[in-house]
């Protein structure tokens, strides 16, 4: 039975909701942690990374219940009418960011609409209408009439560089690409090509996503910042990479970090597992700056002897043979199926009997199998991959179909999904 086939009346949902709220509050009290609050200084994360699984599940079920209660109370008519708020929320975010409202509203205290509009060089009437829309979405507050202050969420965006990066990327890149989805699929019907995407249409380019980024230094830097922001999320935290696989069991071995950027994953693993050596591979323009990044770290001397860099495209045959592990973390979801097969096929000739390929990537849940709020985030990420790359997040069966097509033959040895992670370790070896 799927989650959506469970409690379906408002009374049933509320009964379960109260149980989950009590479970969450009991844990927070026992752990000495604050309860969720609308206070602007509330912690941005409700539960710590290592909270028990049943408590994490209770929190997800609370969000699920809130969404389903809203839909039941609204009914189909009001539910549909609420859809207009989605695009206005996006338009509001674009306006807030463009006119620097997050910075112009003071971190402490408040500012009048009149003064704020003057600093932003916008009409007072426009500022009132747009900010009051933002307030309904949890961004900012109006503590007294005609005064604006930060809410917990808007203050979090203001004070967090990763969230600021996310806001810019959403406004400047994601929204135009999403809006072009119909136009792109009309222009290139049924195409799964990397150059027939919504991103291509929105940016009027015939280049694949990453090639286009390479021509735009500011956007490329923004994307790199976005990836750091994504890595800072609990569901993508490097702690899952470190603890989710038995790296120590490899002993003295070499790990090839395929498409590893400047090596942030290898650096984290090298700090925890001193017997391992790492070869970080990426394109020349990325690798050129990687050694200086490593040298800037306080423990660079201890790491430098175990981390090396090699310019290499994973769209060509793998030059390092016989490594213990070829690690692809958050790589294949950026690529359409044919390209993903090609990337893996280039690794197979490098494998020895005990070598393995480890794919760490999102594992898309079956419809209705996880709480609604969680599934909506998965589906949104899936659409982002579609819009940018004609790729997508993949369910287990999708992954198995890819592996079955790889030249030379790959067998799935193990699949592990760390608690709290959106990604799974898929361990592959020669058939």
* Active site members: 333
Taking phi over 0 as left and psi of -120 to 50 as alpha, with beta for the rest, 146 belongs to left
Q: How many CA atoms lie within 13 A of 42 on its CB side?
A: 16
Record the tokens describing residue 117, joined without a space: 């509009």
User: How many Å apart are CA 214 and CA 149, to the nearest integer?
Assistant: 39
Cα–Cα nearest to 308, from 346, 270, 348: 270
Four-residue CA torsion sign, 28, 29, 31, 36: positive
Query: Would you give the end-to-end CA distance of the chain in angstroms?
Result: 35
Task: Find residue 112's DSSP bridge partners.
Answer: 147
Which of 135, 114, 7, 136 lies closest to 64, judged by CA? 7
Four-residue CA torsion sign, 367, 372, 376, 377: negative
Q: Are 328 and 357 in contact (CB under 8 A)?
A: yes
Packing angle, helices 124-136 and 113-120, rounded to 10 = 110
Cα dist. 412→321, 322, 331, 427 in Å?
20, 19, 18, 6
**What one-character DSSP code corresponds to residue 278?**
E
Residue 158 CA to residue 148 CA, distance in Å, equals 14
Nearest-angstrom CA–CA distance, 258 and 307: 13
Is 271 in contact with 288 (CB distance < 8 Å)? no
Tokens, residue 159: 């004070």
Instruction: Give the SS3 label for residue 311.
Output: strand
Q: Other CB atoms closer than 10 Å to residue 345's CB: what's the count? A: 16
The full DSSP string for 358-406 is EEEEEBPPPTTSS-HHHHHHHHHHHHHHHHHHS---B-HHHHHHHHHHS
Q: How far is CA 319 from its chain centroid?
A: 30
């Amino acid at each position: 039975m799927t989650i959506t086939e469970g409690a379906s009346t408002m009374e049933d949902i509320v009964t379960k909701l109260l149980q989950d709220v009590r479970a969450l509050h009991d844990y927070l009290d026992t752990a000495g942690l604050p309860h969720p609050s609308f206070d602007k200084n509330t912690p941005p994360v409700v539960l710590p990374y290592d909270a028990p699984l049943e408590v994490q599940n209770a929190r997800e079920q609370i969000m699920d219940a809130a969404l389903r209660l809203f839909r039941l109370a609204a009914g189909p008519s009001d539910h549909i009418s609420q859809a207009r708020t989605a695009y206005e929320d996006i338009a509001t975010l674009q306006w807030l960011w463009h006119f620097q409202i997050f910075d112009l509203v003071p971190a402490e205290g408040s500012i009048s609409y009149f003064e704020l509009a003057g600093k932003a060089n916008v009409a007072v009437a426009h500022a009132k209408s747009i900010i009051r829309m933002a307030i309904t979405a949890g961004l900012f507050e109006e503590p007294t009439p005609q005064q604006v202050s930060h809410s917990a969420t808007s203050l979090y965006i203001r004070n967090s560089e990763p969230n600021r990066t996310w806001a810019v990327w959403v406004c400047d890149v994601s929204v135009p690409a999403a809006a072009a989805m119909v136009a792109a699929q009309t222009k290139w019907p049924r195409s799964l090509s990397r150059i027939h995407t919504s991103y291509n249409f929105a940016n009027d380019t015939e280049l694949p996503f990453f090639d286009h980024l390479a021509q735009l230094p500011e956007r490329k830097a923004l994307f790199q910042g976005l990836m750091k922001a994504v890595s800072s999320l609990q569901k993508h935290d490097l702690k899952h990479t470190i603890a989710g696989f038995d790296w120590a069991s490899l002993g003295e071995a070499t790990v090839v970090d395929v498409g590893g950027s400047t090596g942030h994953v290898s650096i984290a693993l090298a700090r925890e597992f001193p017997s391992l050596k790492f070869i970080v591979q990426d394109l020349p323009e990325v690798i050129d700056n990687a050694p200086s990044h490593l040298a800037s770290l306080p423990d660079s001397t201890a790491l430098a002897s175990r981390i090396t860099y090699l310019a290499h495209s994973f769209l060509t045959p793998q030059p390092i043979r016989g490594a213990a592990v070829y690690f692809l973390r958050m790589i294949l979801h950026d690529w359409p199926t044919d390209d993903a097969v090609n990337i893996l096929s280039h690794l197979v000739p490098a494998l020895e009997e005990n070598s393995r390929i480890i794919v760490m990537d999102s594992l898309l849940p079956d419809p209705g199998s996880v709480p609604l709020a969680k599934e909506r985030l998965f589906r949104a990420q899936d659409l982002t991959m579609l819009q940018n790359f004609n790729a997508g997040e993949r369910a287990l069966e999708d992954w198995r179909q890819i592996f079955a097509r790889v030249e030379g033959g790959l067998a799935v040895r193990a699949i592990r999904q760390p608690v709290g992670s959106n990604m799974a370790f898929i361990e592959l070896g020669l058939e």
